Structure 1
Amino acid sequence: MQSEALFGLALGITPPWEVTSVAFDKGSNRLDIHIDFQRGGKFPCPVCGTLSPAHDTVEKQWRHLNFFQYEAYLHARVPRVKCPNSGCGVKLVQVPWARAGSGFTLLFEALVMTMVRDMPVNVIASLFAVTDKRLWRVLDSYVALARAQEDHSEVRRVGFDETSAKRGHDYVTLFFDLDARKLIFGAEGRDNVTVKEFVADLKAHGGAPENITDAAIDMSAAFIKGVKEQLPNAETTFDPFHVIKLMNDSLAKIRAEEARLFPEILKKSRYLFLKNPENLTAEEEQRLDAIIAGQNLKSTEAYLHKLNLQNVYFAASRPEAETLLASWHAQAAGSGIRLIKKMAATVKEHWNGILSHFDSELSTGFLEGVNSLIQAAKARARGYRNPKNLITMAYIIAGKLNFKSLYSAPT
């Protein structure tokens, strides 16, 4: 069997297409495979599907999977057809081995989509000697195609949170279906406008903002405003993780201030106060007990307020939780520590949203887990050029999108 026929079988080329020549250049580490169509071949109109003969042709080239260490390229005269049906006109036909408008074959793109889950885009680009911008265009295209198939008509309970695209600035907001445990939308920024953009996208995928019953968020004023304005029937739940995080932030500031006054007592004690008691080692527990028992410190008082606030979330019902929270609030509001009094005021301001957790039982802990995966991917890539790339990667990591229906998986 001739090499052209062998390569035709390997590539899955079928009539009217055929491999006409194969050229291997060891000097340039390159394999060029030329494909043409048989004389008299007819092709479906890209608009209506009517078979039509070639009107003229356009020379095209696609990057294919490497042949061992050698770069491989496909070349073909791609016909344009002049459909006899009115309204179709002259159109470039779709070749079976590549996506319309792409400079890569389907198998090449499938391999990239498989590799990108575990490797940074710039590393993959280096391996294949292509620019990372070209690969990002591939990822963006597949994410857009897969998201176009998504149906959000059953979305009822959502959670959203911000994550940083770059250190200190360029944030994105990610919106999740908490029942399906998947990312359904990402937007640049972290203000109430992102909620408006989410609602527009929800409608575009068959969902309805009126059907959203619950929204789990942090205490961001922008998110609270966005839910109130855009999700009229949604009950707001302030996630326990963020409530305790605010408490821990206050505790950390109080301890840091005292550590400067009493370094011999509080040196290297930060994580003793921030860890949950059950996570302390025996040595850490012994040292923390000694600090609490032996010194009358603001840090000790703040630590006890933290433990009491955490205990609220062990309540078996909302009424029990409200009783515990009221007791905590009375003690915290009466504290002589400014940051503790401020925390008490914050809890009072968000009272109903905190307690609604005991009705909805919603938590954004899942979102925090996804955020850690996204940040790990960002760290491996040493950052992303722009927030749009971060959102694309977030869809790939957490969107549960169906890419297999869009390309031929590598064999």
Structure 2
Amino acid sequence: MTNQLFESALGISAPWYVEAVDFDADQRQLTIAVDFVAGSRFGYAGVAGEHPVHDTQIKRLRHLNFFQHECFLEVRVPRVRLPDGSVRLVEPDWVGQLNGFTLLFEALVLMLAQQMPFAAVARAVNLSWHRVHAICSRYVELALAAADLSDVTAVAIDETSYRRGHEYLTLVADMQARRVVFVTTGKDASTIERFAAYLDEHGGTPEQLGSVSIDMSPAFIKGVNEYLPEARVTFDKFHVVAHASKALDTVRRQQQKLDPQLEGMRWTLLKDADKLSLAQLTDLEALISQYTTNRTARAWLYREQLRDILERKQINVVSEMLQQWCANVMRSKVEPMKDVVRLIRRHFDGIVAWTQTRQTNGFIEAINGLFQAAKRKARGYARFETMRTVLFLIAGKLDFSRFNENAR
């Protein structure tokens, strides 16, 4: 009866059966011996029919814990003789993708690794860090090899640092599916070339991309123009406004040396007005009332005007208003904001495109934040391959179920 209960719990069915159960109280370890009925014949992938057993091997597989006791299956695995005379090992259908585990155990590791650093997962399941990493890496690579990118039409591209010393990786996210689809080293134009080649390898073409959201990196612009020929470039509105905010802060720092009332005003000027306290709003209104004589006040107004223009949805209206805004700023004496004008004029079409695509890098930047948080929890990942695995576990929305029906 005990053996039948374990057969039911493990999902084992004929011709397999539980032959014996051994519990080591001192080691808190449960070992379950699994065998097959004598005389059984087994199929082998790619070869018709069922084949006689030639001999057997014992495999020891880690399984899910039973009541906090480590559980191992010791399985007598058959080798069958095929019609051509060759002998092949037949794996039971509960054996995992990595030698030494059951599918259920690997599914547990994958689930935990999507929420915890590898070291924490290793402690939870009593494995080494390297074994946890090996399971996750194996499944990620299987899922990526089978990925179909034929329906990807709009992407966001961004870079993030992964090691000290200015070492970067580039991420590409499918904006419709809200998932990372490609990760590579570097942040130059060749990263876009590699992504275009990756599309070709996974059912897509570079020409199918109609929209790409990037920052104003010259390398990314060059790469998109060369390797994604049909893609319309969109520069995220929030990046443009961020440049204006940086210019505003520069003006404040310059003026603060002569105007003591600007001390302590940094966050009052940089935050959205609806996030300010009553006292901060009062200080801001007092400053803005001096806009005719105070350059910091004028810089704040220019930033808010730019934000308002980019919120509009009619591309011809935005284009006309943005050109007028640039002309007004260039006639002013707010020098740092003139640098923003020059930036906008260099990237005018991509900035105006925002009004139609409404495509931002917010999603991919949020992924960057999750990745950096995971890196800190893990006290840093040293190798690119590990970072790539972590990024796909966090934000790849990979389908592992075709390799392990328990990993959904």
Match of 1:286 among 262, 282, 307: 282
Q: Corresponding residue for 1:390?
A: 387
The residue matched to 2:109 in structure 1 has which SS?
A: helix
Question: Is the contact between residue 61 and residue 74 of structure 1 (CA under 8 Å) also seen in structure 2?
Answer: yes
Compute the displacement of 1:161 (Å). Answer: 1.3
- Look up the match of 1:272: 268
* Counterpart secondary structure, 1:159: strand
Q: Are the aligned partners of 1:309 and 1:325 in contact in 2 as well (CA < 8 Å)?
A: yes
Cα distance in 1 between the residues matched to 2:342 and 2:336: 10
SS at match of 1:219: coil
Aligned to 1:400: 397
Give 1:133 shift. Answer: 1.9
Distance 1:8 1:190 in 2: 53
- What secondary structure, in the 3-state scheme, does the structure 1 residue paired with 2:47 have? coil
Give the structure 1 partner of residue 27 of structure 2.
28
Map of 1:363 onto structure 2: 360
Superposed counterparts of 1:313-324, under 5 Å: 313-324=310-321
- What is the CA deviation profile of residues 94-148 of structure 1, one whole-angstrom value per residue up to 9, with x for unaligned ones? 2221224332211111112222233222111112221122112211222223333
Whether the 8 Å CA contact 2:97–2:138 is kept in 1: the answer is no
Determine the structure 2 residue equivalent to 1:16.
15
**How far does residue 298 in structure 1 lie from its aligned partner after superposition?**
4.1
Alignment-mate amino acid for residue 102 of structure 1:
N
Classify the secondary structure of the residue corresponding to 2:55.
strand
2:216 corresponds to which residue? 219
| TM-aligned CA distance change 1:7 to 1:173, over 3 Å | same
Q: Give the TM-score normalised by the residue count of structure 1.
A: 0.90
Instruction: Determine helix, strand or coil for the equivalent of 1:126.
Output: helix
Amino acid at match of 1:183: V
Q: How much has 1:49 moved relative to structure 2?
A: 5.4
- Higher mean C-alpha displacement, 155-164 vs 248-257: 248-257
- Whichever residue aligns with residue 171 of structure 2, its letter is L
When residues 343 and 49 of structure 1 are mapped into structure 2, their CA distance, relative to the original with a 3 A threshold, is farther
Shift of 1:257: 4.6
For the residue of structure 2 that corresponds to 1:385, the secondary structure is coil
Does residue 328 of structure 1 match 2:292? no
1:165-219 superposed Cα distances (whole Å, 9 cap, x missing partner): 2466332222122222222222222222221221122122211111111111110
Is contact 1:334-1:341 (8 Å) kept?
A: no
Which sections of structure 2, spanning at least 5 residues, go unmatched? none
Cα displacement string for residues 28-69 of structure 1 (whole angstroms, at most 9, x for unaligned residues): 121111222332222222343542223333332221111222
Q: What's the secondary structure of 2:382's corresponding residue? A: coil
Distance (Å, rounded) in 1 between the aligned partners of 2:134 and 2:300: 50
Structure 2 residue identity aligned to 1:28:
Q
CA contact (8 A) 2:400 2:407 kept: no
- Give the alignment of 1:191-202 within 5 angstroms: 191-202=188-199
Where does residue 354 of structure 1 map in the other structure? Answer: 351
Q: Residue 307 of structure 1: which of 304, 307, 313 is its match?
A: 304
The secondary structure found in structure 1 opposite 2:219 is helix
Give the alignment of 1:371-386 within 5 angstroms.
371-386=368-383
CA contact (8 A) 1:254 1:299 kept: yes
SS in 2 for 1:313: helix
Cα deviation for residue 349 of structure 1 reads 0.7
Distance 1:314 1:108 in 2: 50
- Answer whether contact 2:63 2:72 (CA < 8 A) is retained: yes
* Equivalences, count: 407
Q: Is the 8 A contact 1:65 1:72 kept in 2?
A: yes
CA pair 38-343 structure 1, distance change in 2 beyond 3 A: same
CA distance in 1, matches of 2:259, 2:89: 75
* Farther-moved stretch of structure 1 (134-143 vs 111-120): 111-120
- Give the whole-Å Cα distance in 1 for the aligned partners of 2:241 and 2:87: 63
Per the normalisation by structure 2, the TM-score is 0.91
Task: Note closer, same or farther for the CA distance 1:331–1:91 as it changes in structure 2 (3 Å cut).
Answer: farther
Is 222-231 or 71-80 further displaced after alignment? Answer: 71-80
- Deviation per CA, 1:348-407: give whole Å up to 9, x if none: 111111112223232222323333333333343333333333332322332222233432
Distance 1:298 1:134, change over 3 A: farther
Match of 1:108 in 2: 105
Q: Name the CA shift for 1:217/1:43 in 2 (closer, same or farther; >3 Å).
A: same
Between 330-339 and 238-247, report the one with greater CA deviation: 330-339
Q: Is the 8 A contact 1:94 1:100 kept in 2?
A: no
- Determine whether 1:160 maps to 2:161: no
